[in-house]
């Protein structure tokens, strides 16, 4: 009889916890994008109230981590609203013999990363509040000003590029004061003459044998070039292959590369924040030589996209997205 009572006492919490987790996942599936953004913002704001670190830093870390999940096969898609990934052993503590430990006290005893964010005594790696609270606790160890936050981020990721991307994302969220940054723009105005086709992977010979890492949009010299996304200007200047070029990093960690420009738009400098449709420069034929070289090929824009997975970056074909953006913009113009 005693064994039956003990077994029932052990199973009761599981019976109550598991259905609630299932309901949380079902709830997310039934929500609109706007409702999901509201849920996330509420979590970021709670972390801000606790740590005095602005909400947009938590949004930036979350975006960075969501981008990593999209780029890597060794990380599953997040079940909850928060995408921050923390390895199980790091969560419970390296010396913790119980890799599935959820008790805040024992996790703390083993110096684990996990913390109780909602006051239920558990530090659950699958609970959004606990995940975000734990990350907030890590950052607050270093302080709450911008430089302190950068140090805290570096301590966690041990990667300069991660710190650069996250602080860039934070600037974008701060400027636009919203999580809804889904809008995109086609790369040139529709009323200008232009043409393009899929050329990703084609052979290139100038400067040594290599493949074409992008799509060429042929257009008249001086045609405006627009940012396709929200982001931060990460790079601007001359490249012997790309001529005058600009690189913009979006909130999904994707790097957008615009090359062979005739000139840049005024005010588009490194660190500038742009939005879809912002004119960043003008079509030209620069490149394949020393700074200022122009005219070695017909005027066109080279557009490349590169995904960061937390370790390296690689190029992928931008053509399908360009076609989608063009069609969407034409449909919108027709009303």
Q: Which residues pair with 225 in a beta bridge?
A: 281
One digit per residue, the tens of pLDDT, for the chain of length 335 reads 444 443 343 333 333 333 334 444 456 778 999 999 999 999 999 999 999 999 999 999 999 999 999 999 999 889 999 999 999 999 999 999 999 999 999 999 999 999 999 999 999 999 999 999 999 999 999 999 999 999 999 999 999 999 999 999 999 999 999 999 999 999 999 999 999 998 876 656 545 455 568 899 999 999 999 999 999 999 999 999 899 999 999 999 999 999 999 999 999 999 999 999 999 999 999 999 999 999 999 999 999 999 999 999 999 999 999 999 999 999 988 87
Give the Cβ contact number of residue 321 at 10 Å: 19
Half-sphere exposure of 174 (CA within 13 A, CB side): 15
This prediction's pTM: 0.88
- pLDDT for residue 2: 42
**Nearest alpha-carbon partner for 112 in 88, 126, 93:** 93
212 with 203: CB under 8 angstroms? yes
Angstrom distance (rounded) from CA 279 to CA 14: 56
The burial of 236, by beta-carbon neighbours within 10 Å (0-12 exposed, 13-18 middle, 19 or more buried), is given as buried
What is the sign of the dihedral through the CA atoms of 180, 39, 102 and 1? negative
- Could you read off the pLDDT of 182-223 as tens digits, one per residue? 999 999 999 999 999 988 766 565 454 555 688 999 999 999
The contacts of residue 283 (CB under 8 Å, 6+ apart) are 188, 217, 219, 220, 221, 222, 223, 224, 225, 260, 261, 262, 299, 300, 301
Percent of the chain at pLDDT above 70? Answer: 88
CA atoms within 13 A on the CB side of 105: 2
Unique residue bearing structure tokens 């995109």 = 184
Question: Which three-class secondary structure string do you get for the chain?
Answer: CHHHHHHHHHHHHHHHHHHHHHHHHHHHHHCCHHHHHHHHHHHHHHHHHHHCCCHHHHHHHHHHHHHHHHHCCCCCCCCCCCCCCCCHHHHHCCCCCCCCCCEHHHHHHCCCCCCCCCCCCECCCCCHHHHHHHHHHHHHCCCCCHHHHHHHHHHHHCCHHHHHHHHHHHHHHHHHCCCCCCCCCCCCCCCCCEEECCCCCCEECCCCCEECCCEEEEECCCCEEECCCCEEEEEEEEECCCEEEEEEECCCCEEEEEEEEEEECCCCCCCCEECCCCEEEEEECECCCCCCCECCCCCEEEEEEEEECCCCEEEECCHHHHHHHHHHHHHHHHC
Q: pLDDT tens-digit profile of 111-161?
A: 999 999 999 999 999 999 999 999 999 999 999 999 999 999 999 999 999
């Amino acid at each position: 009889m005693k064994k039956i009572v003990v077994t029932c006492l052990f199973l009761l919490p599981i019976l109550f916890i598991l259905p609630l987790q299932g309901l949380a996942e079902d709830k997310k599936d039934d929500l609109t994008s706007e409702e999901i953004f509201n849920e996330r913002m509420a979590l970021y704001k709670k972390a801000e109230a606790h740590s005095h670190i602005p909400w947009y830093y938590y949004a930036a870390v979350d975006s960075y981590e969501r981008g990593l999940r999209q780029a890597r096969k060794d990380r599953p898609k997040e079940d909850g609203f928060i995408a921050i990934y923390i390895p199980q052993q790091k969560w419970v503590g390296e010396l913790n013999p119980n890799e599935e430990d959820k008790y805040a006290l024992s996790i703390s005893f083993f110096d684990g990363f996990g913390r109780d964010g909602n006051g239920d005594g558990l530090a659950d790696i699958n609970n959004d509040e606990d995940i975000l609270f734990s990350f907030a606790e890590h950052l607050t160890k270093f302080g709450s000003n911008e430089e302190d936050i950068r140090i805290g981020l570096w301590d966690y990721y041990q990667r300069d590029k991660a710190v650069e991307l996250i602080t860039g994302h934070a600037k974008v969220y701060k400027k636009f004061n919203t999580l809804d940054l889904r809008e995109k723009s086609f790369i040139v105005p529709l009323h200008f003459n232009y043409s393009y086709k899929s050329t990703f992977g084609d052979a290139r010979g100038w400067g040594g044998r290599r493949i074409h890492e992008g799509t060429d949009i042929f257009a008249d010299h001086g045609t405006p070039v627009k940012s396709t996304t929200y982001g931060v200007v990460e790079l601007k200047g001359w490249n012997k292959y790309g001529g005058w070029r600009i690189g913009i990093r979006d909130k999904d960690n994707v790097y957008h590369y615009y090359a062979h420009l005739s000139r840049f738009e005024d005010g588009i400098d490194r660190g500038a924040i742009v939005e879809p449709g912002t004119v960043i420069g003008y079509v030209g034929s620069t490149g394949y030589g020393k700074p200022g070289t122009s005219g070695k090929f017909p005027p066109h824009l080279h557009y490349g996209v590169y995904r960061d997975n937390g370790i390296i970056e690689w190029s992928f074909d931008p053509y399908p997205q360009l076609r989608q953006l063009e069609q969407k913009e034409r449909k919108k113009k027709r009303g």
